[in-house]
């Protein structure tokens, strides 16, 4: 009897130990910087030297090491989580890497073409719309979004701010003159929903301009409170999009459809945008351009200096940004890189859609307070600077959505 009890206890305790061990070694599939993976001796299952991206399965400990290394060189997370794609069970990762390299090659070829888009014709109605951008509106949207203790996809109430924002947008859209739809998109990889507004195009409703940014926030700091106000990351880009919608919804109906996305669970690995971009590709949707606004309030390279991220974006759209800048913005544009799929533009780029990511500064000039309870409205955050990014979205909504231009490759 006693031995039987002992045996049972033994089984129970080893079973427990086994469960703990399993948890410790649970790995997830990621795309990460090849140099980080190599430096840390993490086995790489597939790689692409051209884009310096590797596919690996990482344990929590490996994840911590990658993050430590990334932080040292000024990156945030340093990897893109692919768990939600269930690539673990397929060999699709080879294709993922090859597709990325193809896109890169085409962009590089395009960059070598000597005569491209030279200028945008100045349109008075666009100039007028740009003067409507209100810094005090931006401030009040950011104030409201940061009043939630967290907008995290893994927080206690991951959809509280999403449904409250939907109510606010519905009220605002009461005065829209363009036909619209508003909805919450549910996901399989997260409990959090994406908020979606579609302004229907008149002549070419199947051609889509996507204007997006992530609405979720995160606190990754050790100690120092649990709140995730995410003022810069990314109440700022979210606010730019609200202000864009407010201004363009009463303008004449655009020829192309404009879709706004306030994405879910970006901070947990681009989950919301990855599902959406994948489903758009699967149903063959004709997405002409994707604008990603993520962090627009901290002028870390100077007021009116815009960082244009050159990785996971379209060379054609980066040119378009420069042309728009010459005609309407008169800011300074500097090219830089994240070095990894740092935001939702990477989800669209991976499906072959042209994406653009104008950032608050060059990579080194980024706000150092993000992902902590310190990411709040402060004198360092500059709403005049942030207003610029609203203007980028407005030009895309009023110029590109009324043209025939598309990526020529």
Q: Which residues are catalytic?
A: 214, 233, 266-267, 294, 371
Give the integer Cα–Cα distance in Å for 254 and 205.
9
Binding ligand BES by CB under 6 A: which of 238, 257, 343, 349?
A: 343
Beta-ladder partners of 196 = 183, 261
CB of 344 to Zn ion, least distance (A): 9
The CA-atom distances, in angstroms, between 183 and each of 166, 257, 260, 277 are 8, 16, 11, 17
Stretch (H or E) spanning 18: helix 2-25
Output the DSSP codes for 304-359. Answer: TEEEEE-TTS-HHHHHHHHHHIIIII--EEEEE--SS--STHHHHHHTT--EE-EE
Please say whether the beta carbons of 397 and 210 come within 8 A.
Answer: no
Phi, psi of 19 (to 5 degrees): -60, -45
Asked whether 244 and 397 are in contact (CB, 8 A), the reply is yes
Residue 185-224 contact track with Zn ion, rule CB under 5 A, x = bound: ----------------------------------------
Residue 212 or 254: the one with the smaller Cβ distance to Zn ion is 212
Tokens of 170: 């519905």
Choice from 294, 311, 336, 362 touching Zn ion (CB under 5 A): 294
List beta partners, residue 133.
none
What pairing do the DSSP bridges indicate for beta strands 28-33 and 53-58?
antiparallel
Residue 275 found at the interface with ligand BES (CB under 6 A): no
Task: Point out which span in 11-19, 156-164, 264-272, 390-398 binds ligand BES (CB under 6 A).
Answer: 264-272
Task: Report the partner that residue 107 touches, choosing among Zn ion, ligand BES, none (CB closer than 5 to 8 A by kind).
Answer: none
- 266 is an interface residue for ligand BES by CB under 6 A: yes
Residue 373 and residue 220: Cα distance in Å, rounded?
9
State the Cα torsion 10-12-15-16 to the nearest 10°.
-110
Contact between 84 and ligand BES (CB under 6 A)?
Answer: no
In angstroms, give the least distance from the CB of 167 to ligand BES: 25
Q: Considering beta carbons, is residue 80 or 233 the nearer one to Zn ion?
A: 233
H helix runs in 160-270, sequence order? 160-173, 237-248
| Residue nearer to Zn ion on the CB measure, 338 or 401 | 338
Q: Smallest distance, Å, CB 294 to Zn ion?
A: 4
> In angstroms, what CA-CA distances link 194 with 81, 107, 141, 183, 264?
18, 30, 18, 8, 5
Q: Which does 104 bind (CB under 5 to 8 A by kind): ligand BES, Zn ion, none?
A: none
Stretch that binds Zn ion, among 192-200, 245-253, 283-291, 294-302 (CB under 5 A): 294-302
**354 binds ligand BES, rule: CB under 6 A:** no
Beta carbon nearer to Zn ion, 48 or 217:
217
> Stretches 94-102, 326-334, 335-343, 374-382: which one binds ligand BES (CB under 6 A)?
335-343
Task: Kindly tell me which residue out of 294, 311, 375, 399 binds ligand BES, with binding defined by CB under 6 A.
Answer: 294
**Which residue from 73, 271, 115, 94 is spatially nearest to 189, judged by alpha carbons?**
271
277 lines the binding site for ligand BES (CB under 6 A): no
- Contact residue for ligand BES among 133, 231, 338, 395 (CB under 6 A): 338
User: How many contiguous H segments (helices) and E segments (strands) does the chain have?
Assistant: 12, 13
Minimum separation from the CB atom of position 235 to Zn ion (A): 10
CA torsion through residues 275, 281, 284, 286, sign: positive
Among 193, 194, 234, 296, binds Zn ion (CB under 5 A): 234
Stretch that binds Zn ion, among 70-78, 112-120, 228-236, 250-258 (CB under 5 A): 228-236
- Which of 143-151, 240-248, 336-344, 347-355 is the region at the interface with ligand BES (rule: CB under 6 A)? 336-344
Residues 89 to 148 in contact with ligand BES, rule: CB under 6 A: none
**Which residues contact Zn ion (rule: CB under 5 A)?**
233-234, 294
């Amino acid at each position: 009897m006693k031995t039987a009890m002992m045996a049972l206890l033994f089984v129970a305790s080893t079973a427990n130990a086994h469960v703990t061990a399993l948890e410790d070694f649970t790995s997830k599939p990621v795309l990460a910087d090849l140099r980080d993976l190599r430096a840390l001796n993490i086995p790489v299952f597939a790689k692409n030297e051209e884009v310096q991206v590797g596919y690996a399965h990482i344990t929590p400990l490996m994840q911590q090491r990658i993050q430590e290394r990334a932080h040292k060189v000024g990156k945030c997370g340093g990897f893109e989580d692919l768990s939600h794609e269930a690539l673990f069970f397929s060999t699709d990762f080879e294709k993922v890497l090859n597709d990325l390299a193809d896109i890169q090659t085409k962009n590089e070829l395009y960059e070598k073409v000597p005569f491209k888009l030279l200028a945008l014709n100045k349109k008075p109605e666009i100039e007028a719309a740009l003067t409507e951008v209100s810094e005090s509106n931006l401030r009040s949207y950011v104030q409201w979004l940061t009043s939630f203790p967290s907008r995290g996809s893994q927080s206690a109430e991951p959809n509280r701010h999403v449904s409250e924002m939907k109510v606010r947008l519905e009220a605002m859209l009461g005065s829209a003159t363009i036909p619209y739809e508003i909805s919450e998109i549910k996901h399989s990889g997260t409990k959090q929903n994406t908020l979606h507004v579609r302004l229907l195009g008149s002549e070419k409703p199947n051609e889509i301009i996507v204007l997006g940014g992530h609405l979720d926030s995160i606190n990754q700091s050790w100690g120092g409170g649990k709140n995730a106000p995410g003022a810069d990351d990314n109440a700022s880009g979210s606010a730019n999009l609200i202000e864009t919608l407010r201004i363009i919804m009463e303008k004449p109906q655009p020829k192309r459809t404009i879709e706004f996305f306030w994405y879910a669970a970006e901070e947990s690995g681009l989950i919301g945008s990855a599902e959406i971009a994948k489903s758009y590709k699967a149903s063959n949707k004709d997405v002409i351009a994707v604008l990603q606004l993520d962090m627009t309030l901290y002028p870390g390279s100077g007021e009116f200096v815009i960082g244009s991220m050159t990785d996971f974006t379209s060379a054609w759209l980066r040119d378009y940004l420069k042309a728009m800048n010459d005609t309407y913005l008169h800011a300074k544009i500097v090219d830089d890189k994240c070095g990894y799929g740092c935001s939702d533009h990477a989800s669209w780029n991976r499906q072959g859609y042209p994406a653009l990511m104008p950032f608050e500064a060059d990579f080194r000039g980024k706000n150092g307070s993000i992902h902590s309870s310190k990411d709040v409205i402060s004198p360092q955050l500059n709403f005049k600077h942030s207003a610029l990014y609203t203007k980028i979205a407005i030009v895309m909504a009023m110029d590109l959505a009324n043209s025939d231009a598309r990526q020529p490759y």
